[in-house]
Structure 1
Amino acid sequence: MNVAQRVAIVTGGGGGIGGALVARLAREGARVVVADLDVDTARAVSTTVNADHPGSTVSAGADASDTAQIQELIDLAERVFGPVDLYFANAGIAGAPGLDAGEQDWDLSIDVNLRAHIRAATLLVPRWLERGEGYFVSTASAAGLLTQIGSATYAVTKHAAVAFSEWLSVTYGDRGVHVSCLCPMGVNTRLLYSGKDSGDALGRAATQAVTSAGDVLEPVEVADAVLAAIEDERFLILPHEEVLDMYRQKGSDYDRWLSEMRRYQSSLLAQA
């Protein structure tokens, strides 16, 4: 899909990967609703992007996991720009480390990292089926293909986000609904370093696991990879190409992979 003149919504758009996606979309001629739980960051990104591409974005404070607020974002996009062509389910949280995560931690992670995607698709896919075209982009993680040392809530919900994206593509991909799933490793954002700052050994190990597994990319590099995948209408987006080799190794010998991951975790905890 060519994004020029298309209408997009980007959740978690107030910085990091989301902010970079907004800038990249606007540069390519798209019109974008910048949504973030923190309305000030969403407004700041919108103001900066509009300085270079006047009138290309509007901002809104929104909880991307709340159905009513997702609908408000869709309504805003339609009032200002027109029908939504692309939805970037990009908002996400790291979650609590280990089994210390309580019911509220699990509920929040499931809501933000998974149900937010489901709720957005539930609102948009029927419209796209009527129009014959639409594009859903899910920000998951390499943790959704592999796992995440330290955070069960993150590993589980990112696996589920990948699974939901797969299901969307299988179910609607021949009816004009395109789906891409972004699965990066380390990206230079606040989310990456939240485990390091958690005060928990598993949390520190979680950050170290990602930063030592491969290069830490800048958000703009990830945004470039996403736009290239959309142009090609490609499902799996791997800004870190080595993730594919890791995924193949996991699938080829699951028990060996689990054993190696346990050893890797032990080495990280010894350093934490």
Structure 2
Amino acid sequence: MKVAQKVAIVTGGGGGIGGALARKLAAEGARVVVADLDADAAAAVADAVNAGHPGSAVSAGGDVSDAGVIEGLIAQAEEAFGPVDLYFANAGITGGLGLDVDEDGWDVAFDINVRAHIRAARLLVPGWVERGEGYFVSTASAAGLLTQVGSAVYSVTKHAAVGFAEWLSMTYGDKGVRVSCLCPMGVNTKLLYEGKETGDPLGVAATGAVLAAGEVIEPDQCAEIVLAAMDAEHFLILPHPKVLDMYRQKGADYDRWLSGMRRYQASLLAGTR
């Protein structure tokens, strides 16, 4: 799908991948609602977009896991630009480490990393089916395919995000609804370094695993890859192609892969002592 003249909502748009997506969409001729929990950060991105592409962006602050906030974003987009064509469910959190995360922590992570996607789809997909066109882009992670060292919450919720995107494509892909699922490894954003900044050995190991796995790309590179994949209407977007090789190895021999991951995790933890 070409994004020119389309109307997009980008959540988690106040920086990182979301901010880069907003900039790239506007550069390609789309009009964008930049949404973020940090309203000032969202406004700064929208202002930067409009400086280069006047009238291409508006911003909003709010918790995009809240269905009422999503409804407000859709209404804002329609008032400013017209019906929403593209939804980027990009907001996400790491959610804590190990088994120490309490029930509330799990609920917050599921709300932001998974249920926010479900709530947006429930609001948008019926209209897209009626119109015969729409595009839902889910930002998951390589952790949603391979599992993340250290963070059970992040791994589990990102697996769930991949699963929901697969279901969405399977169920509505022949009804005009396109779906892509973004699963990067290292992208140079604040989220990448959160584990290391905790000082917890599991957190340090989590960041170390990603940094050691391959090139850390910039958000603008990631956004360019996303839009190219959307143009080709590819489901799985892998900015780091080696993720596919690792995923194949995992599926080919699960026990061997788990054994190898245990050894790898042990080596990372030993390096934090």
**Which category of TM-score, normalised to the shorter sequence, fits these structures?**
over 0.9
**Aligned-partner residue type, residue 42 of structure 2:** A
User: C-alpha separation between the residues in 2 aligned to 1:110 and 1:232?
Assistant: 30
Structure 1 CA distance, aligned partners of 2:70 and 2:198?
A: 30
Structure 2: distance between partners of 1:101 and 1:222: 30
Secondary structure, counterpart of 1:156 in structure 2: helix
Shift in Å at residue 104 of structure 1? Answer: 1.2
Q: Identify the residue that residue 118 of structure 1 maps to in structure 2.
A: 118
Query: What code does the residue aligned with 1:139 have?
Result: T
| Counterpart code for 1:22 | A
What amino acid maps onto 2:206 in structure 1? A
Residues 164-188 of structure 1 deviation map (CA, whole Å, 9 limit, x = unaligned): 0000000000000000000000000
Q: Equivalent residue for 1:264?
A: 264
Instruction: Name the aligned partner's letter for residue 159 of structure 2.
Output: H
Q: In structure 1, give the amino acid aligned to 2:258.
A: L
Map residues 37-186 of structure 1 onto 2, 5 A cutoff. 37-186=37-186
Q: Report matched runs for 1:195-214 at 5 Å.
A: 195-214=195-214
Number of paired residues? 272
Structure 2 unaligned blocks of 5 or more = none
Taking the aligned partners of 1:181 and 1:99, their CA distance within structure 2 comes to 27
Q: Using the TM superposition, give the Cα deviation of residue 199 of structure 1 relative to its aligned residue in structure 2, in angstroms.
A: 2.1
Specify the code of the residue in structure 2 equivalent to 1:169: S
What is the identity, as a one-letter code, of the residue corresponding to 2:207?
A: T
User: 1:257: Cα distance to partner?
Assistant: 0.1
TM-score if structure 2 supplies the norm length?
Answer: 0.99
SS at match of 1:191: helix
Alpha-carbon displacement from aligned partner over 1:178-204 (angstroms, at most 9, x marks no partner): 000000000000000000011211011
Look up the equivalent residue of 1:125 and give its one-letter code. V
C-alpha root-mean-square deviation of aligned residues, in Å? 0.4
Q: CA deviation at 1:102?
A: 0.8
SS across alignment from 1:99: coil
Alignment-derived partner of residue 227 in structure 1: 227
Paired residue for 1:32?
32
Secondary structure, counterpart of 2:178 in structure 1: strand
Q: Distance in 2 between matches of 1:141 and 1:135?
A: 19
- Paired letter, 1:212: A
Give the superposition deviation at 1:62.
1.6
Q: Deviations over 1:60-109 (max 9, x none)?
A: 00211000000000000000000000000000001111001111110110
Show the counterpart of 1:215: 215
Output the CA distance in 1 between the equivalents of 2:133 and 2:89: 17
1:15-30 maps to which residues of 2 (within 5 A)? 15-30=15-30
Counterparts of 1:217 and 1:270, CA distance in 2: 27
Listed one character per residue, the Cα deviations across residues 220-249 of structure 1 (whole Å, up to 9, x for unaligned) are 110011000110111000000000000000
- Hey, which bits of structure 1, 4+ residues long, moved more than 6 A? none
Q: Distance in 1 between matches of 2:241 and 2:224?
A: 14
Amino acid at match of 1:62: G
* Corresponding letter in the other structure for 1:99: L
1 CA distance for matches of 2:138 and 2:98?
Answer: 25
Q: Give the whole-Å Cα distance in 1 for the aligned partners of 2:71 and 2:31.
A: 18
Partner residue of 1:189?
189
1:228 counterpart letter in structure 2: A
One-letter identity of the residue aligned with 1:220: D
